[in-house]
């Protein structure tokens, strides 16, 4: 447990009692300090936005970049090359002596609500270097453009472009990559993009090389139900709160931010919404989730809602934005999957529902669930936080890749 200044401890004790101490999360004081810092940055961004000084996302991302710049570079023997793949910025990591043999490869897509993150710095750089070193593999991280500068489907399309370019046999040969041993991986919003890219590559008959595996780390996969069992259980658990996730979705889809309360109440998916008739079964968590995680929670769908939301934001029903909504036919073409979920994460049920739907479509799935897991723990496995659950999670998913890729 990290040592915390007594003054800070006193000031935050009520907050911690209400949010953290209810849950069996290890290293709670460390997580509390991290969360309080992040909340402060978000509040600063909101103030700057309300004053017309800067978009809130730009303020938050600036703070993230400044922090990540302090993280020391690890595995310095791994070579890094910044390059364009079909006009999309990527960084290619490869171990020394790459031309001596064919290697495995992982395409990594970073998270951050499609709006935040520094894929070439700090924790993401450390993670990609560790994958390259531990797997003796080529790792490509996609530096896609983010909201609010661009919105859906730009992030998705740029990841598809980069993937198609990398899977070109001539490009794989350039990097000495075995075309039968390529995986796609992503965390959070990056897990969303990785799942969507895997679906797109799977159904694309013009792409001869396919991904062998997909690794989805606490992915966000739908925006039609903000009251799944995990959303209800973890709505106020750090560091991804239900309201923040709803804000990320509205920003990504270029929708009115004032809709945040309505979608949190599921008014866009009320029982009178006929546009949902083909999709309700795809996220019926009472059927798709194991009873042990449903617990006492019940679905929350108002009798009447706001029909204009789905009409004004049609991307809410687009499987490119919400991979959980893909048809069974599309899912059958998806590669073998590893899906990491955390008990104390609002997105737990997104990952578990997708795992079950893939299984029902005939896809082999490993759902690695962490009872002490929370959102973002993989990123916090590195300096200066070193969360134990994050360290275990990184080790385990890389070990799974090592065994199956």
Closest by Cα among 179, 182, 44, 61 to 121: 61
Q: Please tell me which residue in 123, 230, 375, 379 is annotated as part of the active site.
A: 375
**pLDDT of res. 273:** 86
Known catalytic membership, residue 318: no
Of the candidates 35, 225, 345, 350, the residue annotated as catalytic is: 345
pLDDT at 98: 58
Confidence (pLDDT) at 9 = 43
Q: Specify whether 94 is catalytic.
A: no
Q: Name the nearest CA neighbour of 336 among 283, 393, 405.
A: 405
Return averaged pLDDT per consecutive 10 residues of the chain, 405 residues in all.
Answer: 43 43 75 93 95 96 94 96 98 84 96 97 97 98 98 98 98 97 98 98 96 98 98 96 98 98 96 87 97 97 93 97 98 98 98 98 98 96 94 98 98
Q: Is 345 a catalytic residue?
A: yes
Among 16, 56, 123, 188, which one carries the catalytic annotation?
188
The reported pLDDT for the residue numbered 20 is: 47
- Determine the pLDDT at residue 23: 61
Single pTM value for the model = 0.94
């Amino acid at each position: 447990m990290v040592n915390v200044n007594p003054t800070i401890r006193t000031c935050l004790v009520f907050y911690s009692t209400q949010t953290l101490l209810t849950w069996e999360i290890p290293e709670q004081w460390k997580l509390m300090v991290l969360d309080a810092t992040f909340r402060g940055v978000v509040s600063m961004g909101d103030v700057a936005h309300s004053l017309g000084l800067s978009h809130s996302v730009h303020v938050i991302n600036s703070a993230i970049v400044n922090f990540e710049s302090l993280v020391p570079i690890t595995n310095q023997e791994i070579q890094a090359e910044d390059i364009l793949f079909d006009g999309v910025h990527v960084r290619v990591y490869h171990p020394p002596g790459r031309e001596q043999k064919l290697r495995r490869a992982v395409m990594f897509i970073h998270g951050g609500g499609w709006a935040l993150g520094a894929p070439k710095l700090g924790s993401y750089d450390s993670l990609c270097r560790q994958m390259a070193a531990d797997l003796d593999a080529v790792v490509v991280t996609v530096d896609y453009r983010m909201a609010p500068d661009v919105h859906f489907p730009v992030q998705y399309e740029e990841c598809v472009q980069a993937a198609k370019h990398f899977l070109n046999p001539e490009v794989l040969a350039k990097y000495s990559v075995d075309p039968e041993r390529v995986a796609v991986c992503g965390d959070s919003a990056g897990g969303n993009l990785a799942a969507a890219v895997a679906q797109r590559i799977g159904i694309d008959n013009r792409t001869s090389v396919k991904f062998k595996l997909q690794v989805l780390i606490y992915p966000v996969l739908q925006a039609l139900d903000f009251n799944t069992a995990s959303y209800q259980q973890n709505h106020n658990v750090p560091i991804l709160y239900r309201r923040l996730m709803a804000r990320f979705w509205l920003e990504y889809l270029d929708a009115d931010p004032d809709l945040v309360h309505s979608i949190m109440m599921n008014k866009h998916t009320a029982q009178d919404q006929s546009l949902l008739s083909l999709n309700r079964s795809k996220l019926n968590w009472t059927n798709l989730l194991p009873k042990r995680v449903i617990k006492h929670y019940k679905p929350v769908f108002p009798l009447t809602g706001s029909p204009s939301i789905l009409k004004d934001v049609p991307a809410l029903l687009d499987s490119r934005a919400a991979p959980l909504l893909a048809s069974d036919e599309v899912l059958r073409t998806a590669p073998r999957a590893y899906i990491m979920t955390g008990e104390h994460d609002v997105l737990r049920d997104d990952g578990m529902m997708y795992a079950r739907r893939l299984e029902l479509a005939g896809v082999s799935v490993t759902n690695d669930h962490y009872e002490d897991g929370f959102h973002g723990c993989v990123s916090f496995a590195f300096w200066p936080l070193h969360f134990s659950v994050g360290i275990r999670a990184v080790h385990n998913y890389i070990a799974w890749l090592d065994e199956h890729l």
